[in-house]
């Protein structure tokens, strides 16, 4: 017998001690009860029978002595290399037991500890996430460690789970099937490490899913003092693995007596290899064993490592099949376990690909609201809704739910009075409301009324999900109107008082923010004194709440009365203080709020005294285009309403050069906002001269060939004001900005007409520009605008025509005398 053919297997004996079996030779090396370092060899053990612990063979002090007595080849190989073996210190022995638990009873061979095989050369290390390979520890002689011990350096590195160290595992389960009456052995094939790794890095199925998706955290090796529950579960694992259906069921029931919500118990099930057996049990026809297994899996799948392990072992596919079971209790347990496991995108994808979405939707359809149904029926709907809620975080799953006919069922169950059903139903709607098709369905199916109704529920979790659903749905104007129509604005304002519950507060403030986009809703919020309450929430709040509060104030302060209310409540200072924040979304909303407040001269004085304009200007350097654009928009009312605004702008060193250089941006919103800011800054002659020196004219001219009406309007205004310095009119003609401007008059937006007429009027002061305008047919278009009711447009159009006509008369006079 060669040394390489002997494999050492660890097992658990009654009392918590370990035994080592020698695979293929029927022998066992077991520690005596008193802990002496000898190994007992049990030979001739009949296969399939209980282990007889009475000694029937010789005693050997260690495994090496045993192999020397049994294998001549081992003696020959040992003679070629020098090894020294020492007795195990007590603390090392304890560590050995712990490590045995960590590797989940995985089989290790003596050959794995002495030399590296060709197969091992291609495998990656399980020592930790650093990517180092696990190598044989060949310094036993100098370190004084025994051959059966592992190097102490490995204690510092976290260990991989046992399922990642083996490619496949076969767990026998002698469970009798009802149909055939024969025992069945179920094999679970694991994915390779590289496959598991790549699947964890799958491209996110939803744009918002990437931030939410969980990643398994590698467990650090714990202390040697494991709890009694850990060892108790390890003892039960033997009976779960090797017993008949009755013994297995008793072991499962005993296992449920432990507190499975504790991480120690959860990891004990995983470490002992019992998790694979629990999944095997799901693929049998023993209903009681399936039920017991699912009850345990439902509890332990709260652990992130367990969730990923269940997905790796193919447990989700089996659970999806169980959804077709005639046993109602079994379906409920499977659906609830799926709800726990499907919290990461790979698991959600697995459920969809194996038809789980359609089956779960069918469970919602099994009974109808209003009919007579029992508690077990509502439990089915609750569990199915929970599973669909977890799955709905994926964009493709949202489409699958819609295609399976889930929307009418959600609308139907939204009318029920069971809170435990309403919470997952509304939670699912909240996830799906990010899709325009779902928002349309929510509106047409009349769900807004029920969402508003449940805002007055006694359950804060239900209130939170309803407010969050309204938050996402209120992107659409029709839904904002429906919320007001069904009197949902007042309950939202009342819920602001529950400031202790931050999740609820974030959802409510978000709903108020989006509803405040409609002016009619803002007027309602004024009646409910919502603005004053929002101002009190500007301090000591988490960022997700601040973003929504500032967003709501930014929308509300478009009304003069609300701007005054914010000033009266002392809201200007905390708003300006938030200009130093780092969160991009928060900065965008703060900029809008500051710009809205700056429309009031009294507010502007406070903003200027707090150095708010300087802070806004510094945000033009922010790399985020949304922050740049919102800062530039906010500067417009600041420059317009500040006292001595020209001098204030010049006081910012490098400020004018910075804003002119932003005309090189590729973002349309940044270009539009910067053009608007330049049109206000250029009203001061000294500032206009500085901007001209920095090349504002050619940069504005490059933007003239655009089809964006919003950009056209503000670009034309900027050109109109920049014409008032030096030879800028001539420069615009030379940089070919006049002909594109003439085409703006064909746009349908009257605001574009007004700004373009003002620009053309200023440009027409140069004769060459008049010729270009005449050639591009502006006279006919401007004649139609002379009769406009807009006085500014009327005067600019008439003035431009007058300049063109005056040039024509001068040309005729010079030509004909």
- pLDDT, one tens digit per residue, over 17-38 is 444 444 444 444 444 333 333 3
CB atoms within 10 A of CB 319: 29
Beta-carbon contacts of residue 660 (< 8 Å; ≥ 6 apart): 678, 691, 694, 695, 696, 699
| Cα separation, 198 vs 210, whole angstroms | 15
190 or 385, higher pLDDT:
385
Bridge partners (DSSP) listed for residue 169: 188
366 pLDDT higher than 90: no
235 pLDDT higher than 60: yes
435 pLDDT higher than 60: yes
Q: What is the pLDDT of residues 454-505, one digit of tens each?
A: 999 999 999 999 999 999 999 999 999 999 999 999 999 999 998 899 999 9
Pairing of strands 168-176, 18-23: unpaired
| Cα separation, 794 vs 787, whole angstroms | 6
| Cα separation, 265 vs 237, whole angstroms | 12
Q: What is the pLDDT of residues 55-90, one digit of tens each?
A: 667 777 778 888 887 888 888 887 776 555 544 444
| Cα separation, 731 vs 738, whole angstroms | 10
The answer to whether 163 touches 190, Cβ cutoff 8 Å, is yes
The answer to whether 259 touches 265, Cβ cutoff 8 Å, is yes
Q: What is the pLDDT of residue 213?
A: 60
Q: What is the pLDDT of residue 375?
A: 58
| Cα separation, 5 vs 110, whole angstroms | 9
776 pLDDT higher than 60: yes
Q: What is the pLDDT of residue 164?
A: 38
- Judged on CB neighbours under 10 Å (0-12, 13-18, 19+), 731 is buried
Identify the DSSP state of 50: P
142 pLDDT higher than 70: no
What's the average model confidence in pLDDT over 635-641?
A: 94
Beta-carbon contacts of residue 143 (< 8 Å; ≥ 6 apart): 151
Distances (CA, A) of 42 to 434, 445, 673: 65, 73, 85
Q: What is the pLDDT of residue 58?
A: 74
238 pLDDT higher than 90: no
Classified as helix, coil or strand, 419 is helix
Per DSSP, helices labelled H in 157-208 are 162-165, 193-200
- Judged on CB neighbours under 10 Å (0-12, 13-18, 19+), 326 is exposed
Question: Would you place residue 368 in the very low, low, confident or very high pLDDT band (cuts 50, 70, 90)?
Answer: low
Bridge partners (DSSP) listed for residue 109: 7
Q: What is the pLDDT of residues 388-402, one digit of tens each?
A: 999 999 999 999 999
Least confident of 25-39, 201-215, 768-782: 25-39
Highest-confidence segment of 81-90, 106-115, 248-257, 610-619:
610-619
> Is pTM, for the whole model, over 0.85?
no
On average, the pLDDT of the chain sits at 78
619 pLDDT higher than 90: yes
Q: What is the pLDDT of residue 373?
A: 54
230 or 309, higher pLDDT:
309
| Cα separation, 21 vs 5, whole angstroms | 13
Q: What is the pLDDT of residue 197?
A: 34
Q: What is the pLDDT of residue 263?
A: 84
507 pLDDT higher than 80: yes
Q: What is the pLDDT of residue 56?
A: 64
Q: What is the pLDDT of residue 64?
A: 80
User: Strand 59-60's sheet: what is its strand order?
Assistant: 59-60, 39-41, 27-30, 18-23, 7-12, 108-109
Question: Would you place residue 817 in the very low, low, confident or very high pLDDT band (cuts 50, 70, 90)?
Answer: low
Identify the DSSP state of 271: H
Question: Would you place residue 155 in the very low, low, confident or very high pLDDT band (cuts 50, 70, 90)?
Answer: very low
Classified as helix, coil or strand, 183 is strand
Which of 604, 685, 682, 600 lies closest to 642 in space, CA to CA?
Answer: 604
430 pLDDT higher than 60: yes
| Cα separation, 28 vs 23, whole angstroms | 9
| Cα separation, 6 vs 719, whole angstroms | 88
Question: Would you place residue 255 in the very low, low, confident or very high pLDDT band (cuts 50, 70, 90)?
Answer: confident
365 or 173, higher pLDDT:
365
Which of 78, 62, 65, 104 lies closest to 4 in space, CA to CA?
Answer: 78
Question: Would you place residue 273 in the very low, low, confident or very high pLDDT band (cuts 50, 70, 90)?
Answer: confident
Beta-carbon contacts of residue 30 (< 8 Å; ≥ 6 apart): 13, 17, 19, 20, 39, 40, 42, 53
| Cα separation, 266 vs 646, whole angstroms | 69
Q: What is the pLDDT of residue 308?
A: 93
The secondary structure element, H or E, covering residue 622 is: none
Classified as helix, coil or strand, 129 is coil
139 pLDDT higher than 50: no
Distances (CA, A) of 553 to 471, 480, 614, 634, 706: 15, 17, 21, 14, 33
Question: Would you place residue 177 in the very low, low, confident or very high pLDDT band (cuts 50, 70, 90)?
Answer: very low
330 pLDDT higher than 70: yes
723 pLDDT higher than 90: yes
Q: What is the pLDDT of residues 565-618, one digit of tens each?
A: 999 999 999 999 999 999 999 999 999 999 999 999 999 999 999 999 999 999
């Amino acid at each position: 017998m060669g040394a390489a053919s002997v494999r050492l297997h660890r097992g658990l004996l009654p009392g918590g001690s370990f035994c080592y079996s020698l695979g293929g030779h029927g022998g066992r090396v077991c520690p005596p009860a008193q802990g002496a370092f000898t190994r007992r060899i049990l030979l001739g053990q009949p296969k399939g029978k209980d282990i007889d612990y009475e000694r029937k063979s010789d005693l050997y002090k260690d495994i090496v002595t045993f192999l020397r007595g049994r294998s001549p080849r081992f003696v020959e190989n040992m003679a070629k290399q020098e090894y020294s073996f020492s007795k195990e210190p007590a603390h090392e022995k304890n560590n050995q037991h712990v490590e045995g638990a960590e590797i989940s009873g995985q089989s290790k061979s003596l050959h794995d500890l002495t030399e590296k095989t060709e197969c091992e050369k291609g495998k990656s290390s399980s020592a930790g996430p650093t990517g180092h390979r696990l190598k044989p520890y060949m310094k036993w002689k100098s370190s004084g460690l025994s051959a059966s011990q592992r190097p102490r350096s490995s204690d510092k590195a976290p260990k991989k789970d046992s399922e990642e160290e083996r490619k496949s595992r076969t767990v026998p389960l002698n469970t009798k099937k009802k149909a055939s009456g024969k025992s069945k052995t179920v094999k679970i094939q694991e994915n390779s490490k590289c496959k598991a790794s790549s699947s964890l890095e799958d491209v996110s199925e939803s744009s918002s899913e990437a931030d939410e998706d969980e990643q398994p955290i590698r467990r650090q090796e714990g202390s040697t003092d494991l709890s009694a529950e850990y060892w108790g579960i390890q003892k039960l694992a033997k009976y779960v693995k090797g017993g008949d259906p009755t013994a297995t069921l008793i072991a499962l029931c005993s296992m449920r007596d432990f507190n499975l919500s504790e991480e120690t118990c959860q990891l004990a099930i995983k470490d002992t290899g019992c998790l694979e057996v629990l999944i095997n049990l799901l693929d049998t026809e023993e209903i009681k064993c399936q039920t017991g297994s699912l009850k345990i899996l439902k509890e332990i799948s709260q652990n992130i490592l367990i969730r990923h392990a269940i997905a790796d072992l193919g447990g989700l596919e089996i659970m999806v099949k169980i959804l077709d079971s005639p046993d109602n209790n079994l379906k409920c347990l499977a659906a609830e376990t799926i709800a726990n496991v499907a919290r990461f995108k790979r698991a959600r994808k697995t459920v969809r690909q194996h038809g789980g979405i359609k089956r779960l939707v069918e469970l919602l359809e099994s009974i109808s609201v209003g009919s007579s149904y029992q508690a077990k029926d509502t439990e089915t709907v609750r569990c199915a809704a929970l599973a669909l809620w977890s799955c709905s975080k994926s964009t493709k799953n949202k489409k699958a739910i819609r295609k399976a006919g889930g929307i009418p069922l959600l609308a139907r169950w939204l009318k029920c009075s069971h809170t435990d059903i309403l919470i997952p139903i509304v939670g699912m709607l909240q996830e799906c409301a990010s899709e325009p098709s779902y928002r349309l369905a929510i509106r047409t199916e009349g769900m807004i009324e029920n969402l508003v109704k449940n805002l007055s529920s006694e359950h804060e979790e239900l209130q939170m999900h309803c407010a969050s659903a309204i938050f996402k749905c209120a992107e659409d104007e029709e839904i904002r109107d429906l919320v007001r129509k069904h009197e949902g604005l007042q309950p939202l304002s009342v819920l602001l008082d529950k400031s202790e519950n931050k999740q609820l507060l974030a959802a409510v403030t978000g709903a108020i923010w989006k509803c405040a986009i409609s002016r009619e809703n803002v007027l309602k919020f004024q009646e409910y004194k919502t603005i004053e309450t929002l101002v009190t929430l500007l301090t000591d709040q988490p960022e997700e709440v601040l973003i929504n509060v500032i967003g709501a104030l930014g929308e509300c302060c478009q009304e003069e009365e609300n701007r005054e209310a914010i000033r009266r409540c002392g809201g200007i200072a905390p708003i300006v203080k938030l200009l130093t924040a780092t969160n991009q979304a928060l900065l965008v909303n703060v900029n809008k709020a500051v710009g809205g407040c700056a429309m009031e001269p009294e507010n502007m004085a406070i903003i200027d005294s707090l150095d708010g304009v300087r802070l806004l200007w510094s945000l033009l350097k922010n790399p985020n285009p949304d922050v740049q654009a919102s800062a530039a928009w906010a500067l417009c009312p600041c420059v317009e309403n500040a006292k001595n605004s020209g001098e204030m702008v010049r006081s910012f060193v490098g400020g004018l050069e910075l804003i002119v250089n932003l005309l090189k941006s590729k973002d349309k919103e940044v270009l539009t906002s910067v053009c608007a800011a330049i049109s206000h800054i250029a009203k001061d002659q000294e500032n206009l001269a500085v901007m001209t020196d920095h090349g504002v004219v050619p940069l504005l001219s490059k933007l003239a060939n655009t089809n964006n009406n919003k950009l056209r309007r503000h670009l034309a205004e900027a050109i109109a004001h920049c014409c008032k310095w030096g030879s800028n009119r001539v420069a615009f003609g030379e940089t070919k900005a006049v002909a594109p401007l003439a085409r703006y008059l064909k746009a349908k937006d009257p605001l574009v007409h007004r700004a373009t007429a003002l620009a053309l009027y200023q440009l027409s002061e140069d004769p060459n520009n008049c010729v270009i305008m005449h050639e591009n047919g502006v006279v006919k278009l401007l004649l139609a605008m002379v009769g406009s009711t807009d006085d500014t447009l009327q005067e600019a159009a008439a003035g431009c025509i007058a300049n063109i006509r005056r040039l024509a008369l001068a040309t005729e006079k010079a030509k004909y005398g």
